[in-house]
Amino acid sequence: MDEAKREEIIKQYQNRDRVVRILSNDHKFRAVALKNTDSARNAQKRHNTDWIGSFLLARTMSAAAMMANFLKGEERIIVELKGKGPVSSVYGEAMSIGENRGFVSYSPDISDKPIENIGEALGAGVINVTRILYDRPEPVQSILPLQKGDVATDLAYYYQMSEQIPSAVILDVDFNEDGIISHSGGLIVQALPGTTQEELEEVYSHLVGIDSLVRYFDDDKNPRDILEEILPFEFEVVRSSQLDFLCRCSKDSFISRLKTLSVDEIKDMQEKNDNELVCRYCNEHYYLEPGDFDTLIEEMQATRN
Ligand SMILES: [Zn+2]
């Protein structure tokens, strides 16, 4: 391999989506920083979302990906914001191992009135955080009223109210001239038990001055570099994980879900050639072939007789 090619591959690897978690040397703060430009852009492309939908989707996926980094293995976080505005819901889901997916739903009676501030997109509503954890038989759910509907403020509010963890949250998305996501990233800094109000405020005062997080990505900086530049304390990296837009859906999983319907309903679908199955999480389209219907009906009749 020639040197230029080698350098290109190394650069691609260094620039890929990543979540980095740190712990301050004095154990008073933990933080997680994220770059998820490719995942957010992938979601925008798959769902063909407009500007405001892409903006909220990227931020919600960022929130989920960072929160999931505090979990283990296949433990999962779902962050869903629901409102009465033109965007009726935005959904972000992430697994601790680095899988991320999401989608946006719009209100059917969408108005042409331009949105003047981000809070109007969702309007009044709720943030719903669901954690699926190994040691809990049921998902752990928390529902709180939306504060600003900008995701970042709502997430900080969630951490304060539901987990009693003082948190500073920055989420940042940028677009190119064609309206395509050019950068997406985020940062959460959390105070651990024993931190004084003074220490907390000192760290917060460093963060309020940050007008843009993603500008660091312009200089090929990764989440670790950003943490080193921004945080006013020494730390060690606890975890650095790659992140991808990934949905575990498959044609087979859709077909097995059809088995909850009746044989007559399946026959009806077959007659109407109602053969398109769409995943709402990743917008993948699957099509049932005539043979798929036959096999499905045969299998259903065999198990029901
Ligand atoms: Zn899917």
**Rounded distance from Cα 219 to ligand 1 centre (Å):** 33
Q: Are 67 and 36 in contact (CB under 8 A)?
A: no
**Rounded distance from Cα 146 to ligand 1 centre (Å):** 27
**Rounded distance from Cα 102 to ligand 1 centre (Å):** 9
**Rounded distance from Cα 281 to ligand 1 centre (Å):** 5
pTM of the model: 0.92
End-to-end CA distance of the chain: 62
Pick the closest to residue 32 from 231, 252, 277, 219 (CA basis).
231
**Rounded distance from Cα 280 to ligand 1 centre (Å):** 7
304 pLDDT more than 70: no
Dump pLDDT digits (tens) for 90-118: 999 999 999 999 999 999 876 677 777 88
Pick the closest to residue 19 from 6, 4, 34 (CA basis).
34
**Rounded distance from Cα 104 to ligand 1 centre (Å):** 14
Q: What is the DSSP string of the chain?
A: --HHHHHHHHHHHHHS-EEEEEEETTSSEEEEEEE-HHHHHHHHHHHT--HHHHHHHHHHHHHHHHHHTTS-TT-EEEEEEEESSSEEEEEEEEETTTEEEEEEEE-SS---PPP-STHHHH-SEEEEEEEE-TT-SS-EEEEEE-SSSSSHHHHHHHHHHHS---EEEEEEEEE-TTS-EEEEEEEEEEEPTT--HHHHHHHHHHHHT-S-STHHHHTT--HHHHHHHH-SS-EEEEEEEE-EE-----HHHHHHHHTTS-HHHHHHHHHTT--EEE-TTT--EEE--HHHHHHHHHHHHHHH-
**Pairing between β-strand 87-95 and β-strand 99-106 as defined by DSSP bridges:** antiparallel
If you count them, how many residues does the chain have? 305
**Rounded distance from Cα 248 to ligand 1 centre (Å):** 6
**Rounded distance from Cα 93 to ligand 1 centre (Å):** 12
- Choose between 119 and 33: higher pLDDT: 33
**Rounded distance from Cα 130 to ligand 1 centre (Å):** 19
Dump pLDDT digits (tens) for 34-60: 999 999 999 999 999 999 999 999 999
**Rounded distance from Cα 251 to ligand 1 centre (Å):** 10
**Rounded distance from Cα 181 to ligand 1 centre (Å):** 21
pLDDT of residue 305: 60
**Rounded distance from Cα 283 to ligand 1 centre (Å):** 6
What distance separates the 2 farthest-apart alpha carbons in the chain?
71
**Rounded distance from Cα 114 to ligand 1 centre (Å):** 31
**Rounded distance from Cα 237 to ligand 1 centre (Å):** 32
**Rounded distance from Cα 247 to ligand 1 centre (Å):** 5
**Rounded distance from Cα 6 to ligand 1 centre (Å):** 34
**Rounded distance from Cα 249 to ligand 1 centre (Å):** 4
- Cα–Cα distance, 148 to 123 (Å, whole number): 8
Identify the sign of the CA torsion 29, 35, 39, 45.
positive
**Rounded distance from Cα 285 to ligand 1 centre (Å):** 9
- 255's tokens: 């077909």
**Rounded distance from Cα 286 to ligand 1 centre (Å):** 10
Dump pLDDT digits (tens) for 240-278: 999 999 999 999 999 989 989 999 999 999 999 999 999
User: Rounded mean pLDDT of 61-81?
Assistant: 96
Dump pLDDT digits (tens) for 199-239: 999 999 989 888 788 888 887 889 999 999 999 999 999 99
